[in-house]
Structure 1
Amino acid sequence: MTKRNQHITPHRDGWQVRGAGSEKATSVHSTQAEAISHGRDISRNQGSELLIHGRNGRIRARDSHGSDPYPPNG
């Protein structure tokens, strides 16, 4: 499976989950929360990053699910 960052962006029917570089949405949801939940599952499975965009298209939050090269000691 290709590691691809997932983007949550506005869609004419609500909010979409779209892999980086993809023309088509992976899925479309009526709420941003539903799209974030689905996108988070995908990015966890792929070990990629989730980028959450606001209605204006700008990135408002990031959630990294890749391997951490500097894990906390403990």
Structure 2
Amino acid sequence: MSLDKYTLHKDGKSEKWRLEKEGSNRAKAQFDTKSEALKSLRDTVGPSGGSVRIRKVDNTIQEERTYPRSKDPKKSKG
């Protein structure tokens, strides 16, 4: 079973950080700050888990995280 994939990015119009599921333009959640979003990712993604691609303000990829960690398919330190 594959994990749901999400992207966290800053919306240029609203200036909010949006968490969107891959293939959808609709936000699963919106946050005022990136730090608020990062603190809430585990709860927002939910118990079924998912992979979150975190982008910088310039839209380049900063990192990718898997929640819960036990569902990460790669056995790496990162």
Same fold (TM over 0.5): yes
Instruction: Output the aligned Cα RMSD.
Output: 2.6
Give the C-alpha shift of residue 25 in structure 1. Answer: 0.8
Q: Give the match for residue 67 of structure 1.
A: 71
Counterpart check, 1:50 vs 2:41:
no
Structure 1: give runs of 5+ residues left out of the alignment: none
- How many residues are treated as equivalent by the alignment? 71
Counterpart check, 1:9 vs 2:9:
yes
Structure 2: give runs of 5+ residues left out of the alignment: none
Matched letter for residue 35 of structure 1: A
8 A Cα contact 2:8 2:54, kept in partner? yes
**Larger of the two Rg values belongs to structure:** 1
Q: Give the match for residue 18 of structure 1.
A: 20
TM-score if structure 2 supplies the norm length? Answer: 0.68
* Structure 1 residue ranges (4+ consecutive) displaced by more than 4 angstroms after TM superposition: 68-72
